[in-house]
Amino acid sequence: MDIASLVGLLAAAGLIVGSIATGTAPFSAFLDLPSVLVVVGGAVGASMICFPLKTILGMPIVAKKVFLNKPENPSKLIDQLISLAETARRDGLLALEGRVDEVDHNFIRLGIQMAVDGTRPEVIEDIMRTEIDAIATRHRDGKALMDQMGRFAPAYGMIGTLMGLIMMLSDMSDPSSIGSGMAVALITTLYGAIVANTFFIPFAEKLGFINKQELVSLEIIVRGIMAIQSGENPRVIAQKLGTFLPPKIRALKEAA
């Protein structure tokens, strides 16, 4: 579980709630169901025009990915690739056939299987890199929905506020209700800003970060598989792949 994301969300939301609690107005001044409907409903409705239904329905899963993200461990991946390289170097490529089942990672398994099947190197690299492109594209579509909602939420907040102001200004017969009319009008803009800056934009950025990490792991794997298939010396492979690790972790590995 991603502690930082959880703490961050609680912190940002908590500060907003705490600010209201210590303020001069009661909570009720900040709650307005029609405003919630305009902001969230409008943003979701507009997004449903933009994206296919299955992307919209997949949004809770994508949001969960932000919290329960198990960070990639490139160091472990490299260790596994070096181990496979040593087997291939010592006993030949076909020996990897026996090790395919112990490999968890689908992408490593794909590469090893093609190498064992004798697929030509250019074909292996072409298929693996096309796969990476496809994964990157699927990532981008998932993030695009969050980004788009982060743009629509404030836009519908502003639409709600304009409607509220027009309602209030059309009937200014009761001067004492002007203030509360304006307050209610401003609530939609507030909801739009909160929902965009506490949820949609941070989640979209985090998704982008998670996606980048995953692409780095996939790049390590492609390079590892190509090196194994060409019979490269495992020590050289270790050096090539080591550049993907931050210097401190790399130094620890080399000491070991």
Residues 141-180 that bind a copy of itself (CB under 8 A): 148, 152, 155-156, 158-160, 162-172, 176, 178-180
Q: Does 66 bind a copy of itself (CB under 8 A)?
A: yes
The single-letter DSSP state of residue 97 is: G
Q: With CB under 8 A as the contact rule, which of the stretches 6-14, 75-83, 84-92, 94-102 interacts with a copy of itself?
A: 6-14
Which SS3 state, helix, strand or coil, does residue 71 take?
coil
CA 109 – CA 112 distance, rounded (Å): 5
List the one residue out of 62, 203, 222, 64 whose CA is nearest residue 133: 222
For residue 158, the Cα-to-chain-centroid distance in whole angstroms is 27
Contact map string, positions 80 to 109, toward a copy of itself, x by CB under 8 A: --------------------------x---
Q: Say which residue the tokens 């709630």 belong to.
A: 17
CA 234 – CA 95 distance, rounded (Å): 16
- Among 68, 94, 100, 123, the residue binding a copy of itself under the rule CB under 8 A is 123
Q: Does 70 bind a copy of itself (CB under 8 A)?
A: no
CB of 64 to a copy of itself, least distance (A): 14
73 or 91: CB nearest a copy of itself: 73
Q: Does 27 bind a copy of itself (CB under 8 A)?
A: no
Radius of gyration of the chain (CA): 26
Q: With CB under 8 A as the contact rule, which of the stretches 77-85, 90-98, 118-126 interacts with a copy of itself?
A: 118-126
8 or 95: CB nearest a copy of itself: 8
Torsion of CA 95, 96, 101, 107, to 10 degrees: -170
Q: How far apart, in Å, are the Cα atoms of 29 and each of 32, 52, 89, 161, 182?
A: 8, 37, 71, 15, 11
- Among 81, 116, 203, 211, the residue binding a copy of itself under the rule CB under 8 A is 203
